[in-house]
């Protein structure tokens, strides 16, 4: 096995470092506390949504409803959580539970996750429209404070990214239950033979996805201060891209939480990179696509070289 195949985290780290170096080279002023915060601010909710998606991909499913779900959470946060905190918390808890229930149903009835989550994306989107038919609402004060806090040495966005990566790494890679969950993606039948209830495990994985989806929506509102029903729809595709960019694979429970966070940062940086190059903003979305293709090509080249050696 090659070095890169064993350490699948290397390539995401290198990609982010190269992109960051290029950005600093273009715009040296970005190399500051304020500059970094500006670059990575919006990456926090994307990183959380990417972790949510990773929990689903970990058990060999795919979630097409992340974007709609995060939008719904944002709407709940900007309305209920702000006006009636207790009711708001109850709603958010119910949303996490319904995510867990969705996982259990998908496994128990052997339904294709891609379709069920597709259907759920309509449901989440509808509920969001129901709560906030027009853009509006307000972020709770404490959330706003939390998202704009200025810690010493490193900007909030960087601290948050490190924190998210560390917590999810402990949860998914280091802990016992995390290993079993990855086992569900690797070989669910042998996990079942070992005496685990796979339906409960899938519910747990989906519930964790729901939890991180809720955190993503709250973080987003803390940054934007208001919400609308379509605020995070693009997160669905971004989160899938982030997981894969971070060295994850669609099957086999092969995921990397640290990689997923780095993947989300890379995608966010890719969008701002071109504005530093003074290229037209038309190409911002395209840059994300191009960088995604470039990094995955690099992965292929190294994997082939490793295979030949």
Residues making contact with another protein (CB under 8 A): 62, 64, 109-112, 114-116, 118-131, 133, 237, 240-241, 244, 250-251, 280, 282-290, 292-293, 296-297, 300
Could you write out the DSSP letters of every residue in 24-60? Answer: HHH-GGGSSHHHHHHHHTTHHHHHHHHHHHHHHHHTT
**Toward another protein, which CB reaches closer, 57 or 181?**
57
**Toward another protein, which CB reaches closer, 210 or 222?**
210
**Toward another protein, which CB reaches closer, 86 or 251?**
251
- Whether residue 121 contacts residue 65, with contact meaning beta carbons closer than 8 Å, is answered with yes
Shortest distance, position 1 Cβ to another protein, whole Å = 18
**Toward another protein, which CB reaches closer, 128 or 220?**
128
Compute CA distances 163 → 54, 57, 296, whole Å: 17, 21, 26
Shortest distance, position 233 Cβ to another protein, whole Å = 9
**Toward another protein, which CB reaches closer, 31 or 118?**
118
Shortest distance, position 251 Cβ to another protein, whole Å = 8
Q: CA-to-CA distance for 260 and 52, rounded, in angstroms?
A: 10
Shortest distance, position 10 Cβ to another protein, whole Å = 19
Shortest distance, position 36 Cβ to another protein, whole Å = 25
Q: CA-to-CA distance for 253 and 190, rounded, in angstroms?
A: 13
Nearest to 267 by CA among 298, 246, 249: 246
DSSP code for 283: G
Query: How far apart, in Å, do the first and last CA atoms of the chain sit?
Result: 9
- Whether residue 184 contacts residue 253, with contact meaning beta carbons closer than 8 Å, is answered with yes
**Toward another protein, which CB reaches closer, 90 or 290?**
290
**Toward another protein, which CB reaches closer, 2 or 37?**
2
Q: CA-to-CA distance for 52 and 128, rounded, in angstroms?
A: 19
Shortest distance, position 123 Cβ to another protein, whole Å = 4
Shortest distance, position 271 Cβ to another protein, whole Å = 10
**Toward another protein, which CB reaches closer, 61 or 178?**
61
Shortest distance, position 249 Cβ to another protein, whole Å = 8
* Tokens encoding 257: 């939480």
Q: CA-to-CA distance for 132 and 192, rounded, in angstroms?
A: 43
Compute CA distances 173 → 52, 133, 196, 215, 260, whole Å: 15, 41, 18, 20, 13
Nearest to 284 by CA among 234, 231, 228, 245: 234
């Amino acid at each position: 096995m090659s070095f890169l195949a064993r350490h699948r985290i290397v390539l995401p780290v290198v990609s982010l470092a190269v992109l960051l170096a290029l950005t600093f080279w273009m715009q040296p002023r970005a190399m500051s506390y304020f500059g970094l915060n500006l670059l990575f601010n919006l990456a926090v909710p994307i990183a959380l949504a990417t972790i949510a998606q990773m929990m689903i991909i970990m058990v060999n499913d795919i979630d097409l409803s992340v974007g709609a779900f995060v939008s719904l959470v944002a709407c709940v946060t900007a309305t209920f959580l702000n006006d009636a905190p207790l009711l708001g918390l109850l709603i958010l808890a119910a949303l996490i539970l319904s995510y867990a229930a969705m996982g259990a149903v998908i496994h128990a009835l052997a339904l294709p996750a891609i379709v069920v989550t597709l259907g759920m994306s309509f449901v989440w989107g509808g509920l969001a429209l129901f709560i906030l038919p027009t853009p509006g609402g307000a972020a709770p004060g404490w959330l706003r404070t939390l998202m704009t806090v200025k810690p010493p040495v490193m900007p909030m966005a960087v601290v948050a990214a490190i924190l998210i990566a560390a917590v999810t790494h402990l949860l998914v890679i280091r802990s016992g239950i995390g290993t079993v969950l990855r086992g569900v993606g690797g070989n669910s039948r042998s996990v079942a033979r070992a005496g685990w209830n796979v339906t409960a495990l899938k519910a747990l994985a989906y519930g964790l996805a729901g939890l991180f989806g809720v955190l993503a929506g709250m973080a987003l509102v803390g940054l934007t201060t208001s919400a609308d029903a379509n605020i995070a729809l693009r997160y669905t595709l971004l989160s899938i891209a982030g997981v894969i960019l971070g060295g994850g694979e669609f099957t086999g429970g092969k995921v990397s939480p640290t990689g997923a966070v780095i993947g989300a940062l890379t995608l966010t940086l890719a969008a701002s990179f071109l504005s530093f190059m003074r290229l037209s903003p038309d190409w911002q979305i395209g840059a994300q696509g191009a960088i995604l293709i470039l990094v995955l090509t690099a992965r292929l080249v190294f994997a082939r070289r490793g295979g030949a050696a």
